[in-house]
Structure 1
């Protein structure tokens, strides 16, 4: 068979293949958009009479709080407004830390498994690993998210730009801005109790095209304090927009 007769089918296959890869991302059947909000709290000793007002995205982030995942028993969540700015209010009579033991190595075929140590509310040689508490919400807006320019079109955590440099996000070369975000922390604790709070919010579009592709914007803020607290403070963080493929 001559080369020209082999070339024609190959060209046809390539054309069909290319046709399946063209078009806007929104045209893919797998196309989906979502917002993700997650808070992580780590505390080395018990906290009492706790009220936390965590930065919360607005406008247009309207999931039901019943959809929140990971919230421990005894912790209550609601959305409140402070001077028209929404915050996620977390209240609890007490928050007890959970320390876990080191992972136990299990040999293949071993029948007599070593006992698993129960979690403890304090550090010890047997339970040295402090597990933070993470909870959050995912929300499908039912539309494409403007991940390049979310300001004014899509929800964001309340924030102000900072003169600092990005410390966590923006490592891939995307446009990154250092930000601060307000947070209210009130609780009783021992003077040497260390508390760390992280809040992350992101909006993303994803689709399948010979593998998962997508684009997103993200905000990540954190604060670390020692001892009892009762007042407003500022979380330090980063904001990245226009990350991914378009």
Structure 2
């Protein structure tokens, strides 16, 4: 979990550097990122993840990273949009530890082994990462996105504390959002899901700079599931230079 938060912190830090540059370098974009991690094989899986409201309308065939045998579609429930991910079977991928390459070594070392289950040879669980981006062709309102920009369905948590490292001084608020999970598996199987949505503007002037807003939420399940739950996370707006 902290690994994902540190990545987000690094990205937001990059957006705070530099100064406004040439209009020729100006870009705006949205990004939707979904991460699913499961420790054992699960069957007859259906997930409904929060999906941005209209305004974020890329072609779904542009969803990068969808594994073979998985299906994705946008569904609307009570006026709110969700990304449906279904599969008859989801198989985890465990990898071996990276093998160091010594200078001048020839031939190169063997590729680390991989497996569908944990072992001493394959201890590293690799999550599935799905990403889709969208260029709106216009400047994104990142200071006050509510009511003007696409957002994940969310509810603010009164008195909640921002957990994204380095963002405590930003206009950050704790949020929750609904998620549906239904699958069969052993009582010990653990499933962790992350949803991240962001909108931002970037430009170049002796380095990349920009501004952004971001929503990031996660949930963890143990054992088989069949119903709605809540993801918990943060929303940050007005990050960067203006």
Which of 26, 33, 41 is matched with 1:46 structurally? 41
- The answer as to 2:26 corresponding to 1:31 is yes
Q: Which ranges of structure 2 fall in alignment gaps of 5 or more residues?
A: 1-18
1:240 matches 2:242: no
Contact 2:173-2:234 at 8 Å conserved across structures: yes
Q: Please show how residues 202-241 of structure 1 align to structure 2 within 5 Å.
A: 202-241=198-237
Task: Say if 2:72 is the partner of 1:77.
Answer: yes
TM-score (norm: length of structure 1) = 0.87
RMSD over aligned Cα atoms:
1.5
Q: Spell out the pairing of 1:66-145 with structure 2 (5 A cutoff).
A: 66-145=61-140
SS of residue in 2 equivalent to 1:157: coil
Query: How far has the Cα of 1:188 moved from its partner?
Result: 0.4
Secondary structure at 1:41's aligned position in 2?
A: strand
Query: Is the Cα contact below 8 Å between 1:169 and 1:239 reproduced in 2?
Result: no
* Equivalent of 2:180 in 175, 179, 184: 184
Partner of 1:13: none
Between 90-99 and 100-109, the greater mean CA deviation after superposition? 100-109
* 3-state SS of paired residue (1:29): helix
The 2-side partners of 1:145 and 1:244 are apart by 13
- Aligned residue number for residue 200 of structure 1: 196
Q: Contact 1:52–1:184 (CA<8 Å) still a contact in 2?
A: yes
Query: Which consecutive segments of 4 or more residues in structure 1 shift more than 6 A?
Result: none
Matches within 5 A, 1:9-24: none
Deviation track 1:132-183 (CA, whole Å, cap 9, x = no partner) reads 0001101000010000000010000000001221112662621001000000
Q: Which residue of 2 aligns with 1:167?
A: 163
How many residue pairs align between the two structures? 223
SS at match of 2:114: coil
Mean alpha-carbon deviation: is it higher for 167-176 or for 137-146?
Answer: 167-176
Q: Compare CA radii of gyration and give the structure with the larger one.
A: 1
* TM-score, with length taken from structure 2: 0.89
* Structure 1 residue 205: Cα displacement: 0.3
Say if 1:80 and 1:89, in contact at 8 Å, map to a contact too.
yes
